[in-house]
Amino acid sequence: MPDAGTRHIKTVKIAMEDVVVTGMGVVSSLGADLDSFWESLINGKQGYTSNSSPMLQDQPFPLTGKIPSFLSEAYSRNEEDISLDRAAQLAVAAAGMAIDDAKLKIKTDNAYIPVVMGTTCGANLTIEEKGFDEAWFSEVSREIDLEILAQYDHCSIANAISNNFSLQGPSYIVGTACAAGNHAVGEAADLIKLGRAEVVLCGGAESFSLLPVYGFHAINALADDACRPFDKERQGYVIGEGAGVMVLESLTHAKARGAHIYARLVNWALNCDATSFALPIADGARCRELILDCLDSSGLKPEDIDYINLHGTGSKTNDLMEVNGIKQAFPHCYRTISASSIKAMLGHTFGAAGILDNIATVLSLQKGVIPPIINLQTPDEGFDLNFVTKPHHAQRIDTALSLSFAFGGCNVATIFSRP
């Protein structure tokens, strides 16, 4: 039962068009394509490195999950997109892979394709790299470079995808911080369920930016050796970058064109625990309500979930909240449901984190293998979930839950099942 003062909302189940995943694309520190990403995950590879590169060696932080040797020219189909902010370039690359993976023929299949993308810092890297302070505010020159100004536009992350691939549907950003990539998937699914689109591209993108790094450094929330979600010795975050895009379709449309179906997106839910900008409610009450809302409106029971892709950042408070919420939502089966977090390998990619988690979840469903939580040696007291810690953990998964929790209080859950 919910605690006093909290409210569990039971959503009315309405028959709508089924939503399926037919294509996926990834650019990350673990690989710049879907196959490389997956192989790195199941082998427990660590994608972030020390700050040994010339660009990073003078910065006051030890670890970073930057994507090595990313060249936007290799992915862009529009010359203008090469000058975009790095986050938009990563998004275009991941979108192109997802479109190719889904075998979408844009000109003949459906030009009306909305794009919904999530981000946290958006195009902030443009400000950091282009010297806005000198170009706009110095006494020497106050000229505004319109080309640079055009790059600093968070919507460019979604708009660049639409422009690059000549997509005619609505194109927009959700800015719900670390839950944004997962949130974008849910918004895209609703467009299909409500009959507003047959195909939607959705996901998240984040480029490495000094703003969150300095912020977390200031509050001593950065790990100095490794990301260790749920471990007794965990220190905090490792900051990464990346992009992921999913192609969602109505089941009717996917069948009609003979598309390969990875998984069904059963349902999604979101809520908020905005009592503090940075700290979640550690007792797990809102996490529990989020999970139960998602399950109830799906017609599922807790015991129907085989695997949970955890948010698992390595933050003391966030990890505690997540474990508490899961134990309350799954009181009779939390010790048997497999659980893992890929952030131990990727670092925290903020606006891209939720979509990369979702892609990993869908691949686990399809391939019957669960990525491990590396670096988890001794779970903290009371952290008695069924953590997967060894590579190549084979298990049939029929239904899986993916969780995202964000600064500002936005919480998102998605449930996927085998097609």
| Three-class SS state of 286 | helix
Question: Each residue of 297-336: b (16+ CB within 10 Å) or e?
Answer: bbebebebbbbbbbbbbbbeebbbbbbbbbbbbbeeebee
Task: Please report, as a single letter, which amino acid is at residue 255.
Answer: K
Among all chains, which residue has been given the structure tokens 């936007």? 72
* Catalytic residue of the set 154, 183, 217, 311: 311
**C-alpha pair distances (Å), 232 with each of 51, 236, 378:** 25, 11, 6
Does 311 qualify as catalytic in the annotation? yes
Answer yes or no: are the C-beta atoms of 392 and 365 closer than 8 Å.
no
* Catalytic residue of the set 183, 202, 348, 410: 348
Write phi, then psi, for 227 (nearest 5 degrees): -85, 125
Does 332 qualify as catalytic in the annotation? no
Does 348 qualify as catalytic in the annotation? yes
Distance CA 75, CA 71 (A): 8
* Catalytic residue of the set 121, 154, 178, 227: 178
Answer yes or no: are the C-beta atoms of 183 and 173 closer than 8 Å.
no
Query: Which amino acids are annotated catalytic?
Result: 178, 311, 348
